[in-house]
Amino acid sequence: MTALLDAYAPTDEAELSGIVADHFRRASPLCIEGGGTRIENTAQGQRLSTARLSGVVTYSPGEMTLIARPGTPLPEIEDMLAAEGQALAFEPPDLRGILGRNGIPTLGGMVAANASGPRRLLAGACRDHLLGLRFVDGQGRILKNGGRVMKNVTGLDLSKLLAGSHGTLAILTEMVLKTLPLLPARTTLICRDLDEAQAVRLFSTALATPFEVTGAAYRDGTAYLRIEGLEKQLTYRRDRLLALLTDHDPEVLDDAATVTLWRDLRDVSHFAGLAAPLWRILTKPTEAPRITAALHTLGGQTSLDWGGGLIWYAGPGEATQIRNIATHATLIRRAGVTGPAFPPQQGATARLQQGLRQTFDPAGILNPGLMES
C-alpha cells in the first residue's frame, strides 16, 4: 500500500477497491481528498487521497470526448483542451484563493463538487456534460455507468447523482466528459449604480432575449453581462443588448479585460484574503434581493452570479442565522463557524438522502459527517 504523507494514496482502481473493502469490513471511516481546493472537508476518518489516480485515458478532439482519472490536475486538462481549440463549457471555478490553499484542483474534485462557473447560465452545470464514470462504492465494489458518447448513455444515469455528492456515495476513478469548442470572442456590458433588485431585473430582461448571455454577475453596485461567440454574431448581439439597456447607460469592456474580469468573478477573488466565513447560497433570482438585504443586516458583504441564482456572502453569522435567511446555504470557508457545511435535509429529502447512503455506502464510511446534520 503506497502512502502520501499520512494518507492512503492508491495508484490504481484495484488498490483503491481493496482499501475501501477493508474499511467496510471494519466499519472504519475514510476522509476522501482530491486537491483540497473546493471546500473545507471536516469529515472524520483516515485520509485517502486520489492524487495518484491520475492521467488522461483518452482524448478524442474530433468526437469532443475526454476520459480521465480523478487525480488529473484540472489546469493540465484545460491546457490540453485549449491546444485543440476546446474547453470545458461549464467554466469550473478555482477556489484556492478564497480558501487560502496551495493545492492543485483536480478533475475528480470538480465532478465531486459539480463545480460550475458563470457560464452555467447557458451551458449548464458540470453534471450536464458528464457522459459516464467508473467508481468504487462504500463496499469496495468497482462499478461503472454511462458511456463514451451521448447516444450510448442508457438506463439510470448515476453520473448526475454522483456529481455533487462530495465523495459521500462513492470514490470516482474514471470520468467521461463532453468538451465543446472554445468561444473565439467575448465582451462585457457594464451597468453601474444599481442595487440588487435593479440588477436582478436587468438580468431578467437580458436573459429573456435570444442574445445568449453567458454571464450575469453583480458586486459593489455594478452589474456585468457577458456575451461570447463569433465576432460578427458578437457585434450584432452586443448592439441589440446596448439598445435594450440604454436607460442604464452601459459601458463596453473589450476582449482581454473581459477574460480577466470573469476569471476573477468565477473564482470569487473579491472575497479572497478575508478572514470572514464564506457562504455559497442557491436561490431563485427573484429571492436574491430579499436574501441579500437580510444578510447585510448581519454586517457582511454579498455578490451575485447566475443572474441572481447564486449568492456569495462573506461575513459574520452562525449557521442557524444564515440558514434562517437562506435555506440552501453551504459553508465554503469556516473561519470559526461550527456546524454542518451543507444545509440539513428534512422530510422526504432527508429520507431519500438516507436511502442513497444506505445503498451506496451501507457502513457510512465515506466522508462521514461532511453532508449530514
Tens digits of residue pLDDT in 197-240: 999 999 999 999 999 999 999 999 999 999 999 998 999 999 99
| 271, 98 Cβ separation under 8 angstroms | yes
Tell me how far apart the alpha carbons of residues 114 and 342 are, in angstroms, rounded to a whole number.
14
pLDDT at 149 over 90: no
| 258, 188 Cβ separation under 8 angstroms | yes
For the chain, the distance separating the N- and C-terminal CA atoms, rounded to the nearest angstrom, is: 33
Q: Where exactly are the structural domains of the chain?
A: 1-182, 185-266
pLDDT at 154 over 70: no
How does residue 55 score in pLDDT terms, banded at 50, 70 and 90?
very high
Tell me how far apart the alpha carbons of residues 362 and 22 are, in angstroms, rounded to a whole number.
14
229-243: per-residue pLDDT in tens?
A: 999 899 999 999 999
Pull the grid cell for residue 35: 486537491
**Least confident span in 4-8, 17-21, 290-294, 343-347:** 4-8
Report the pLDDT averaged over residues 97-120: 95
Sequence-ordered list of residues with C-beta below 8 angstroms from that of 65, at least 6 positions apart, any chain: 58, 59, 131, 148, 149, 176, 177, 178, 179
| Neighbouring C-beta atoms of residue 283, cutoff 10 Å | 20
Beta bridge partners of 252: 189
How does residue 2 score in pLDDT terms, banded at 50, 70 and 90?
very low
Tell me how far apart the alpha carbons of residues 90 and 117 are, in angstroms, rounded to a whole number.
6
| Neighbouring C-beta atoms of residue 203, cutoff 10 Å | 25
Report the pLDDT averaged over residues 297-321: 97
Provide the residue count of the chain: 373
- Specify the 3-state DSSP secondary structure of 123: helix
- Specify the 3-state DSSP secondary structure of 293: helix
pLDDT at 70 over 70: yes
Pull the grid cell for residue 59: 482524448
Tell me how far apart the alpha carbons of residues 304 and 216 are, in angstroms, rounded to a whole number.
8
Report the pLDDT averaged over residues 161-178: 96
CATH topology (fold) of 185-266: Alpha-Beta Plaits (3.30.70)
Q: What is the mean pLDDT of the chain?
A: 93
Report the pLDDT averaged over residues 102-123: 96
pLDDT of residue 320: 94
pLDDT at 146 over 90: no
46: enclosing H helix or E strand: strand 46-49
pLDDT at 148 over 70: no
CATH of the structural domain 1-182, one choice from 3.40.30.20, 3.30.565.10, 3.40.50.720, 3.30.465.10: 3.30.465.10
High-pLDDT (> 70) share of the chain, %: 95
Backbone Cα Rg of the chain? 21
| 111, 172 Cβ separation under 8 angstroms | yes
Tell me how far apart the alpha carbons of residues 369 and 273 are, in angstroms, rounded to a whole number.
27
How does residue 3 score in pLDDT terms, banded at 50, 70 and 90?
very low
Helix 231-244 to helix 196-207 angle, to the nearest 10 degrees?
130
pLDDT of residue 108: 97
**Least confident span in 76-80, 124-128, 143-147, 364-368:** 143-147
